[in-house]
Structure 1
Amino acid sequence: MGTRSKLRAYFHTEYHHVERMLVQKIDFFILTFCCLSYFTNYLDRSNLNNAYVSGMKEELGFVGDQLNQITTCFTVGYVVGQIPANLSLHYVRPRIFFPACMLAWAGLTMVTAAVHSPQSIIAIRFFQGFTEATTFVGTHYILGSWYTERELGKRSGIFTASGLAGTMIGGFIQTGIHSSLDGKNGLSGWRWLFIVDGLITLPIALWGFIFFPDTPATTTAFYLTPAQKALAVSRVPPVPDRSPLSLGFLKRALSSRLLWGFVILWILAGETESFSSNALMALYMKAHPTKHYAVAQLNNYPTGVPAIGIVSTLFWAALTDYLGGRRDLVGYFIGATGVATAAMVLAEAARPAEEGSTAVVFAAYYWAGTVYACQATFFAWANDALRYEEHMFRAVVLAAMNLGSNAVNAWWSIVFYGASMAPWFRRGMWAMIAVSIAMAVWTALLSYMTANHERARKAEMAEDAVVGEEKASI
């Protein structure tokens, strides 16, 4: 088959009429809700950095690395909530659980508008992290429950891009709010940002309460016909129905090489996102050695980072699907990107006042935005590798990946990317080079491991088929 024919087959999948209607419905009701949920999740999460450079630092008297300490407390809450939140999906319907968590974090976001000290934000962000804990991995679990292997990469990419859109648009929202609402009713523009972001989240939560369809095996969605419900169940591989909290299950999970393989992968990958997740470009601009940037510039210029992340995410999600699930390619690309961009910043740190230095640093941060592609592709990789495993085991692996990454990130940002280290973050740049090289090496090892696992699974299925035929002939 030629390249043009393969591209046409990839982007124009042929479905039976019933399956086409099913996919269209779950795209509309599941993917739309998940994307809007993740959009507001990142909107409510990233607004702290926008507020910080828009007057909150001065009004609340931030000193030293207090911004990073707040981020760490959010991460601790996020880590603490990972396993309980994702296990809860098996006891509380996702249609109830997801929107309820959204209502909680929307309320906490709006409460932030009333704070008078950095210490108050620390307490709020811990609980906000806890309520947001299931959004990312919980959604990947749901997507893996509804979509086939050929469909999953593109949907994972769209979902991840929606979070980056929240980060990107957050900067423009803060700029608009600062220019139109700053001082309104006695409130600073950064306080209005938290109020507006929280209000945006509420109607999306209501949408989820009404329309989210749970999983194929448990759905009671009124818009799915009985035939479509049966088809949804048949589209995903059947797995053993075992007790999720048995001692045997825990032993199998903790002794799995795949679990630890993907956890280590995401720990390394998560730290390659540090340039963007810690808002280093905004902090670089605010502490620039020779230039002063206006509030609008501090909010608008960094939006290019998630914008590039969106393009990279969608490109790599589509490409790795097109290449038959070669998710490992992203690991090699990101490894090279992390080394190159960190080296660019270190080079310019030695000549900060020279003409062109700022342009090179801006280019490095924008290029670093491409590493966001690992979110969609690596979680799709885990879903692909675990598609024939127990649903609970897949959920635990996805949760453990995020838990491990955030457990490291809780202290990593303070040690390597403290706000007081701006504008150059030299220690962080060397850490980025080290972790990028390690991730490329680990990607190769995990690729070998998952390939062996797939060969063993197919050999076992073939052996079972032979045994079945022999029994049938007796």
Structure 2
Amino acid sequence: MSSTWNRARRFIWGEIPASKEERKLLLKIDWFILSYCCLMYFTNYLDRSNVSNAYVSGMKEELNMQGTDYNKINTIFTCGYIVGMIPNNLMLQVVPPRIWFPLMQIVWGVLTFCTSAVHNVQQIYAIRFFQGVSEASTFVGTHYILGSWYKPSELGKRSGIFTSSGLAGTLFSGILQGAVYQNLNGAQGRSGWRWLFIIDGIITLPIALYGFLVFPDVPATTRAFYLSEEERLLSHDRLEPAQDVDRHGLSWNLMRRVLGRWRWYACSLLFAISGETESLGSNNLMGQWLKAIGGYTVEQTDYYPSGMTAFAIVSTLVCATWTDYTRARWPVLVYMSVAVIFSAICILVWSSPTWLKFLAYYVAGASYAGQATTFAWANQICADDDQERAVVLASMNMWNNVINAWWPLLFYPATDAPRFRKGMIAMICTGVATLAVTWLVWYLERREHRIKRTCEIKNDAASLDIKEAEDENEKPRSASVEVHPTSVGQRAVAV
């Protein structure tokens, strides 16, 4: 019974620490790291999703938004996100994360308040650019922190929980917008969508204060009040020998290491492509579809897309749990790709019944399962070089957003609602391309492991040869002493 329970526990929560001290440490870092990172990412995605929910809840009409104005808001946010990506992750090498994360959160919280007072879409453009710069610290920065504290066997599940917290923000945003529209629309002369941003800002700022108080930085520099000196040492020593979690000074050698290996190129390409499978959700295509075909209330247009987000959360947590148990990351990307190809085909065939389109949009939520898995995979691949890991994680998200800056304008413009024919064809191609690049990363990782094992075997053989040679050289000095008689007595002769 005990062994069955242990297997179930290992499957659900990852590898069980061997000692009581390590179990206690893991409990602490789970509580303080995951609680803050998840709350931070929750408010991050709450803010992002509020724009799409506000758009279908009166913002479009009140600000007289035309054509692709909505897509331009997302594109400008993405441009800011791209600009802030690598600088934010490198700042974590200079400024303690317990300072940098909450500081950036305060910046985007204040900007969220400002969004509630805009008078035209141009003001939203400016605000969203600077929000993108500040919010760029959250996603890859947290994956860098998770990779600094957790073993590979623990990483997938924690990455999945973190990613799911962002999806929970998306889910909550739709529910919150519906409730705000019902209860606060017109209160004190403000539209419901304006109240949404005010409430979002109110939620954000206390969480930033919580980060200042409890976030532990990284194992090499942590001074968290809840960790003893023994736990600080254990947090560093318990990680695998090949896992580099020390702080190093920045140098030009970093660029040579990053550009001289396959990791930066392959991992960046993987998320640059696979991240676009999230387009159905990130552009709220289901909400735009419901608004365009008509027959649904504002509240229904806000609520119904939440089914996609709910399926995304379940897929992310189940897949993350499975990958930690099996240590295989690539099957999740296969599952995700097949799901979005199925969804795109169902929506592309416009004569398909409405219930099938609902199902297709919900199943497309599986695309979000790839976020946690892809970044856990990159953390695992780059575990032996802390600085390279920081750059690779940032670059993955940066290149995805470079594509995402123009991708929706080209394939998912608001003017294409409700059919999004070009977008569905692009989604099928994206799914197929993701399968191909997944195979490439899997192959390169296996090849690197084979090369490392071969080098280790050769080094061991060389060490053995050297040792044998040294032993041979030692033999004359350690040989027995024979005694030969001489005419003047006896003399010891070493043979």
Residue 443 of structure 1 corresponds to 438
CA distance in 2 between counterparts of 1:432 and 1:5 reads 41
Query: Post-superposition shift, 1:158?
Result: 0.5
Residue correspondence of structure 1 range 173-184 to structure 2 within 5 A: 173-184=176-187
CA distance in 2 between counterparts of 1:65 and 1:242 reads 45
Query: Post-superposition shift, 1:377?
Result: 0.5
Given that 2:219 and 2:245 are in contact with CA atoms closer than 8 Å, whether structure 1 keeps it comes out as: no
Is 2:271 aligned against 1:266?
A: yes
Q: 1:334 aligns with which of 333, 336, 342?
A: 336
SS of the equivalent of 2:185 reads: coil
CA distance in 2 between counterparts of 1:401 and 1:442 reads 13
CA distance in 2 between counterparts of 1:244 and 1:434 reads 42
Residue 106 of structure 2 corresponds to 103
Equivalent residue pairs, number: 463
CA distance in 2 between counterparts of 1:208 and 1:192 reads 25
CA distance in 2 between counterparts of 1:467 and 1:154 reads 40
Q: 1:156-189: per-residue Cα shift (whole Å, max 9, x none)? A: 1100000000000101111111111111111111
Judged with a 3 Å threshold, the aligned counterparts in structure 2 of structure 1 residues 461 and 227 are, in CA distance, closer, same or farther, namely farther
CA distance in 1 between counterparts of 2:459 and 2:117 reads 63
Judged with a 3 Å threshold, the aligned counterparts in structure 2 of structure 1 residues 320 and 189 are, in CA distance, closer, same or farther, namely same
Judged with a 3 Å threshold, the aligned counterparts in structure 2 of structure 1 residues 211 and 138 are, in CA distance, closer, same or farther, namely same
SS of the equivalent of 2:116 reads: helix
Residue 430 of structure 1 corresponds to 425
SS of the equivalent of 1:292 reads: coil
SS of the equivalent of 2:56 reads: helix
Is 2:397 aligned against 1:402?
A: yes
Q: 2:211 aligns with which of 195, 208, 226?
A: 208
Residue 276 of structure 1 corresponds to 281
Identical counterparts, % of pairs:
49
CA distance in 2 between counterparts of 1:363 and 1:54 reads 23
Residue 202 of structure 2 corresponds to 199
Residue 60 of structure 1 corresponds to 63
**Which stretches in structure 2 are left out of the alignment for 5+ residues?**
471-495
Given that 2:254 and 2:387 are in contact with CA atoms closer than 8 Å, whether structure 1 keeps it comes out as: no
Q: 1:25-66: per-residue Cα shift (whole Å, max 9, x none)? A: 001110110011101100011100010111111011010000
CA distance in 2 between counterparts of 1:411 and 1:187 reads 33
Residue 377 of structure 1 corresponds to 373
Bigger mean CA deviation after superposition, 424-433 or 242-251? 242-251
Residue 172 of structure 1 corresponds to 175
Judged with a 3 Å threshold, the aligned counterparts in structure 2 of structure 1 residues 8 and 247 are, in CA distance, closer, same or farther, namely closer
Letter in 2 for 1:129: G
CA distance in 1 between counterparts of 2:371 and 2:64 reads 35
Query: Post-superposition shift, 1:248?
Result: 2.7
**Which stretches in structure 1 are left out of the alignment for 5+ residues?**
none
Root-mean-square deviation over aligned CA pairs = 1.9
SS of the equivalent of 1:287 reads: helix
Query: Post-superposition shift, 1:465?
Result: 5.3
Given that 1:154 and 1:321 are in contact with CA atoms closer than 8 Å, whether structure 2 keeps it comes out as: yes
Q: 2:252 aligns with which of 247, 264, 287?
A: 247
Query: Post-superposition shift, 1:5?
Result: 6.9
Judged with a 3 Å threshold, the aligned counterparts in structure 2 of structure 1 residues 255 and 179 are, in CA distance, closer, same or farther, namely same
Query: Post-superposition shift, 1:451?
Result: 1.2
CA distance in 2 between counterparts of 1:284 and 1:114 reads 28
Letter in 1 for 2:358: F
Is 2:18 aligned against 1:22?
A: no
Given that 2:93 and 2:247 are in contact with CA atoms closer than 8 Å, whether structure 1 keeps it comes out as: no
Q: 1:287-332: per-residue Cα shift (whole Å, max 9, x none)? A: 11xx321110011001111110000000100111111x21100121
Query: Highest CA radius of gyration, 1 or 2?
Result: 2
CA distance in 2 between counterparts of 1:372 and 1:215 reads 27
CA distance in 2 between counterparts of 1:467 and 1:16 reads 37
CA distance in 2 between counterparts of 1:460 and 1:270 reads 35
Instruction: Report the TM-score when normalising by structure 2.
Output: 0.90
SS of the equivalent of 1:33 reads: helix
CA distance in 1 between counterparts of 2:218 and 2:422 reads 45
Q: 2:193 aligns with which of 190, 194, 197?
A: 190
Residue 355 of structure 2 corresponds to 359
CA distance in 1 between counterparts of 2:265 and 2:447 reads 15
CA distance in 1 between counterparts of 2:26 and 2:199 reads 34
CA distance in 2 between counterparts of 1:472 and 1:294 reads 80
Judged with a 3 Å threshold, the aligned counterparts in structure 2 of structure 1 residues 8 and 469 are, in CA distance, closer, same or farther, namely farther
Residue 150 of structure 1 corresponds to 153
Given that 1:385 and 1:454 are in contact with CA atoms closer than 8 Å, whether structure 2 keeps it comes out as: no
Q: 1:260-288: per-residue Cα shift (whole Å, max 9, x none)? A: 11111101111111000110000001111
Q: 1:195-240: per-residue Cα shift (whole Å, max 9, x none)? A: 0001101111001001100000000111101110000011223539
Judged with a 3 Å threshold, the aligned counterparts in structure 2 of structure 1 residues 347 and 94 are, in CA distance, closer, same or farther, namely same
SS of the equivalent of 1:134 reads: coil
Bigger mean CA deviation after superposition, 440-449 or 104-113? 440-449
CA distance in 2 between counterparts of 1:241 and 1:5 reads 32
Letter in 1 for 2:72: Q
Judged with a 3 Å threshold, the aligned counterparts in structure 2 of structure 1 residues 28 and 419 are, in CA distance, closer, same or farther, namely same
SS of the equivalent of 1:217 reads: coil
CA distance in 2 between counterparts of 1:240 and 1:23 reads 16
Query: Which runs of 4 or more aligned residues in structure 1 lie more than 4 Å from their structure 2 counterparts after TM superposition?
Result: 2-6, 240-244, 461-474
CA distance in 2 between counterparts of 1:333 and 1:314 reads 14
Q: 1:240-273: per-residue Cα shift (whole Å, max 9, x none)? A: 9796543332122123211111111101111111
Given that 1:75 and 1:406 are in contact with CA atoms closer than 8 Å, whether structure 2 keeps it comes out as: yes
Query: Post-superposition shift, 1:9?
Result: 3.9
